[in-house]
Structure 1
């Protein structure tokens, strides 16, 4: 799983360069989140119904888990 630190605040870069940096960080963060959800979805879809039941899930839960809503 990839991690991106988005808790840092810029110190003084409020102009065009600061806005470009914030936009770039937002785009990178969105791509990282999309990829994590895609990988999670693929792994869970690869499990059998029995294996999903063993971890307390059903096929209908996969999208919720991948999107972090469950």
Structure 2
């Protein structure tokens, strides 16, 4: 009786598919992080200096906050 083992070919193609999926997941994650930072930056820039002071920030802190929380 003969048997054919297809597990090697299947696992090789699954690895390629997993790499593509990982690449696109990482790409989408990077885009989402960039957009979150952009929205945070824009929202903080719309505040007055007084409003920023009330929450304990200055204009020079905006970029750091946007990068940290995105």
Structure with more of its chain in helix, by fraction: 2
| Pair in the same fold by TM > 0.5 | yes
What's the RMSD between the two structures over aligned residues? 1.7
Secondary structure at 1:57 match in 2? coil
Larger Rg belongs to: 2
Runs of 4+ in 1 over 2 A off after TM superposition: none
Q: Counterparts of 2:59 and 2:15 in 1: how far apart (Å)?
A: 47
Q: Report deviation, 1:37.
A: 0.1
Stretches of structure 2 that go unaligned for 5 or more consecutive residues are 1-10
Alignment correspondent of 2:63 = 63
Does the residue aligned with 2:68 lie in a helix, a strand or coil?
A: coil
